[in-house]
């Protein structure tokens, strides 16, 4: 056949001791020429391992234990390693997630493309250079970038250069492993467009690996394209994107849709997916999703479900799908009427916001702009970092990370700060907290200026604002127990509490953020990313702040965990009347949570208004560009 076909692929990884992990456990799919298949799943589902297995690039300790991969009739696993070298980067190529680290830092772009040209097409010298130039143009880069080194390129340019390298061998199928995850939304849109163009102009198959439902949808709009949803090492659903996005058939896929935050779900509680992905060495008697499935019944736990064709071309690995496929067989009277509790049978996907909807304030009332006293008032705040040069290291200029920002957050209000990487939003947050000294401007917290505050006065003020960081792994000290982490802030800022009082409060906080009380005696490494983020939130709440600065609090989390954290944030806002300064690059999260939105670029605020206004009637082009770049809009 044409393209790539994968049959019953199994990958095993040797763990510590005699443990064996099966990250990929029986995966079948095909990628035809000029077809895009999106392999969709949350972290740890085995999608990247699948791709690496196809390339025969599994990490050390990993091996393929079963399965067959055919590329235009050639069995890839039967090839000698030397012959595989000719396929790899030639007929089958792959691009990676991290453009930052995926290029060799000490070789120029031309050299790195030249290597692939030499290996697969025997080109060298001026011919190779000319061809490398053509490839660069094909991916939308100027030929003068040939002699650039990776550090001289931006993230998007690097990803383009990587694609050019992989096109050098004129691949029949290109595997793209999260190609845009590390990129800003506007750059992401460009790269996705580029991949679409290349696929149609070169007639190559594309296997896109992603965790992002919108990206998967954006790339599989064609009639031949397919989306494969992976869970715990298996494909649980396989369908054309139109069918899948209109009516997901597997409860896991349905849950994935239901947990997505969107502007139109403002004020609603997001659905949640309890539990976590089974460990890769788990042994299953029945369905792999049974433990978390809202529709689970007896049969799921004892019998492995088959891969049933619910409607033509749409498969799901679920006992209920069998019933749907053959209604006569089912004792449960069919599937798809939406009567499974908590899951709408059909998910309405509304891309644009409903313009008539009124933004809901945390208290349930309508936000009255300007009438409430501001918790935080920032005026003309600037943070400049000096650039030093020359013999005496004199300051020759400044990097204006934050360049005259004025913002106000009212009590109980959520203000979202939106911008692409490097726009200064994180620096702004740290300057507000006085973790960095601002160069100029003032920050007023509850009416009192922070400038010039020192010692005890500053300490007291710190209790009124706290921060939650993006990375749940580096934000908790690995050598401290959770209880001590929670009590640290209390000890510093709430001197009236004694040791017992602090322990009580810590237990109370753990309860509030939905963690068991015995968590206090454990260390952070025993918790998952989402649980760690809960701990970080509890730590911030420990000192009764009025304002929480949330710096991309859900960016490092899977969508199902993200929903839990967003729900928690919404609950806390309601219970404590907290104000949030919510920093994010993710527009759908912002649309879900924020009352007002400020758009930031190059250290300045370009636009600030109610969420409804920014999303529906953006005043400036940049905001419009951001909104239009978001993938998955049909």
Partner 1 sequence: MSFKPVLLWSDALILLLLAVVAAGVWLLRHNETFRAPLRQVLASRMGSATALILAVYVGIGLLDSLHYVERLPDEPGKAAQYSGEVKSALDKLLSPLRENVEKTYSAPFATHLYAKETMTGPDGREVRDYPRLKHGGAHLADPDQEFWPDVLKRGGLGVLGGMVCWTLLILPLWQRGRTHSALAWTLLCILVVTGLLVALAPHYHVLGTDKVGQDVLYLSLKSVRTGLLIGTLTTLVVLPLAIGLGIAAGYFGGRVDDVIQYLYTTLNSIPGVLLIAAAVLVVQVQIEAHPELFDTAAARADMRLLALCGILGLTGWTGLARLLRAETLKLRELEFVQAARAFGVSRMRILARHLLPNVMHLVLITVVIDFSGLVLAEAVLSYVGVGVDPAMISFGNMINGARLELAREPVVWWQLVAAFLFMFVLVLAANLFADQVRDALDPKARGRA
Partner 2 sequence: MLNYIVRRLLYAIPILLGVNLLTFALFFMVNTPDDMARIHLGAKHVTEEAIQGWKREHGYDKPLFFNAGVEGAAKVGDTLFVEKSLKLFVLDFGPADDGRDIAREIKTRMWPSLAIALPTFLVGLLAYISFALLLVFFRGTRLDTAGVILCVALMSISGLFYVIAGQYVMGKLWHWFPISGYQPGLDAWKFLLMPVLVSLVAGIGDSARFYRALFIEEIGKDYVRTARAKGLSELRVLFRHVLGNAMIPILTGVVVVIPRLFLGSLIIESFFGIPGLGSYTIDAIQAQDFAIVRSMVFLGSLLYIAGLVLTDISYTLVDPRVRLE
Which residue among 89, 240, 305, 632 contacts partner 2 (CB under 8 A)?
A: 89
Q: Which of residues 378-407 bind partner 1 (CB under 8 A)?
A: none
For the chain, how many residues are written? 634
476 is an interface residue for partner 1 by CB under 8 A: yes
> Binders of partner 2: how many residues, by CB under 8 A?
36
> Binders of partner 1: how many residues, by CB under 8 A?
28
Choose the stretch contacting partner 2; rule: CB under 8 A; options: 54-62, 234-242, 429-437, 479-487. Answer: 54-62
Residue 587 binding result from partner 1, partner 2, none, given CB thresholds of 5 to 8 Å by partner type? none
CA torsion sign for 502, 508, 511, 516 is: positive
88 is an interface residue for partner 2 by CB under 8 A: yes
Residue 374 binding result from partner 1, partner 2, none, given CB thresholds of 5 to 8 Å by partner type? none
Residue 433 binding result from partner 2, partner 1, none, given CB thresholds of 5 to 8 Å by partner type? partner 1
What is the C-alpha separation between 156 and 179, in angstroms, rounded? 10
Which residue among 104, 142, 326, 477 contacts partner 2 (CB under 8 A)?
A: 104
Nearest-10 Cα torsion for 274, 478, 45, 252? 10
**What are the structure tokens assigned to 296, written together?**
């689970």
101 is an interface residue for partner 2 by CB under 8 A: yes
151 is an interface residue for partner 2 by CB under 8 A: yes
Q: What are the φ/ψ torsions at residue 445 (nearest 5 degrees)?
A: -115, 120
451 is an interface residue for partner 1 by CB under 8 A: no
Own/partner long-range contacts of 295-302 (Cβ < 8 Å, ≥24 apart): 295/251, 295/320, 295/340, 295/343, 297/332
Residues 359, 615: contact at Cβ < 8 Å?
no
Strands 62-71 and 4-14: antiparallel
Residue 244 binding result from partner 1, partner 2, none, given CB thresholds of 5 to 8 Å by partner type? none
Least Cβ distance, residue 149 to partner 2 (angstroms):
4
433 is an interface residue for partner 1 by CB under 8 A: yes
Q: Which of residues 101 and 517 has its CB atom nearest to partner 2 in the complex?
A: 101
173 is an interface residue for partner 2 by CB under 8 A: no
- Tokens 């009255």 correspond to 368
Residues 551, 469: contact at Cβ < 8 Å?
yes
What is the C-alpha separation between 215 and 227, in angstroms, rounded? 11
94 is an interface residue for partner 2 by CB under 8 A: yes
What is the C-alpha separation between 504 and 244, in angstroms, rounded? 48
**Residue 422 Cα distances to 383, 419, 426, 602, angstroms:** 13, 8, 8, 7
101 is an interface residue for partner 1 by CB under 8 A: no
x/- mask, partner 1, residues 478-497, rule CB under 8 A, reads xxx-------xx--xx----
Residue 391 binding result from partner 1, partner 2, none, given CB thresholds of 5 to 8 Å by partner type? partner 2
Q: Which of residues 210 and 533 has its CB atom nearest to partner 1 in the complex?
A: 533
Rg for the chain (alpha carbons), in Å? 26
Point out which residues bind partner 1 (CB under 8 A): 430, 433, 435, 458-459, 462, 465-467, 469-471, 474-480, 488-489, 492-493, 523, 536, 539-540, 543
């Amino acid at each position: 056949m044409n393209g790539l076909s994968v049959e019953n692929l199994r990958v095993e990884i040797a763990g510590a001791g005699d443990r064996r992990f099966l990250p990929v456990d029986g995966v079948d799919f095909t990628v035809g020429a000029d077809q895009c298949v999106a392999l969709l799943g949350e972290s740890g589902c085995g999608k990247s391992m699948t791709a690496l297995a196809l390339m025969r690039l599994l990490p050390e300790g990993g091996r393929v234990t079963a399965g067959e991969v055919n590329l235009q009739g050639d069995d890839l696993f039967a090839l000698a390693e030397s012959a595989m070298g000719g396929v790899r980067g030639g007929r089958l190529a792959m691009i990676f997630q991290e453009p930052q680290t995926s290029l060799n830092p000490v070789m120029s772009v031309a050299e790195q493309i030249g290597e692939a040209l030499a290996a697969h097409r025997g080109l060298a010298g001026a011919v190779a250079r000319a061809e490398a130039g053509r490839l660069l143009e094909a991916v939308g880069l100027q030929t003068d970038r040939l002699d650039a080194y990776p550090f001289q390129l931006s993230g998007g340019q690097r990803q383009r250069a990587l694609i050019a390298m992989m096109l050098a061998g004129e691949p029949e199928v290109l595997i793209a492993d999260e190609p845009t995850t590390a990129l800003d939304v506007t750059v992401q849109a460009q790269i996705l467009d580029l991949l679409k163009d290349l696929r149609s102009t070169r007639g190559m198959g594309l296997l896109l690996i992603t965790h992002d439902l919108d990206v998967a949808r954006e790339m599989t709009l064609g009639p031949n394209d397919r989306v494969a949803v992976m869970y715990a090492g298996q494909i649980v659903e396989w369908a054309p994107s139109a069918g899948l996005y209109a009516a997901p058939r597997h409860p896991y896929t349905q849950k994935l849709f239901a947990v997505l935050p969107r502007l139109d779900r403002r004020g609603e509680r997001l659905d949640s997916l309890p539990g976590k992905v089974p460990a890769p060495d788990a042994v299953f008697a029945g369905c792999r999703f049974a433990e978390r499935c809202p529709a689970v019944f007896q049969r799921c736990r004892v019998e492995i479900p088959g891969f049933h064709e619910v409607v033509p071309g749409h498969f799901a690995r679920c006992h209920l799908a069998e019933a749907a496929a053959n209604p006569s067989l089912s004792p449960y009277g069919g599937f798809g009427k939406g009567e499974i509790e908590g899951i709408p049978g059909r998910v309405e996907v509304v891309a644009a916001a409903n313009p008539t909807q009124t933004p809901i304030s945390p208290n349930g009332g309508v936000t009255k702009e300007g009438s409430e006293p501001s918790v935080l008032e920032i005026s003309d705040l600037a943070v400049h970092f000096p650039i030093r040069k020359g013999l005496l290291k004199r300051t020759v200029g400044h990097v204006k990370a934050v360049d005259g920002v004025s913002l106000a957050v009212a009590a109980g209000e959520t203000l979202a700060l939106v911008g692409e990487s490097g726009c200064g939003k994180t620096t702004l947050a740290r300057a507000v907290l006085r973790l960095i000294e601002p160069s100029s401007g003032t920050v007023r917290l509850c009416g009192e200026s922070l400038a010039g505050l020192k010692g005890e006065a500053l300490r007291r003020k710190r209790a009124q604002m706290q921060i939650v960081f993006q990375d749940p792994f580096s934000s908790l000290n690995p050598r401290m127990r959770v209880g001590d982490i929670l009590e640290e802030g209390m000890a510093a800022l709430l001197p009236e509490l004694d040791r017992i009082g602090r322990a009580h409060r810590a237990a109370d906080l753990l309860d509030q953020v939905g963690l068991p009380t015995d968590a206090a005696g454990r260390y952070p490494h025993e918790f998952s990313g989402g649980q760690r983020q809960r701990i970080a939130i509890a730590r911030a709440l420990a000192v009764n702040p009025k304002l929480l600065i949330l710096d991309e609090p859900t960016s490092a989390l899977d969508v199902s965990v993200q929903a839990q954290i967003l729900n928690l944030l919404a609950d806390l806002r309601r219970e404590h009347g907290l104000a949030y300064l919510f920093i994010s690059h993710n527009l759908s999260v912002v649309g879900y949570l924020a009352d007002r939105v400020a758009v930031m670029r190059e250290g300045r605020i370009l636009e600030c208004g109610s969420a409804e206004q920014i999303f529906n009637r953006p005043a400036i082009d940049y905001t419009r560009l951001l909104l239009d770049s978001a993938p998955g809009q049909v």
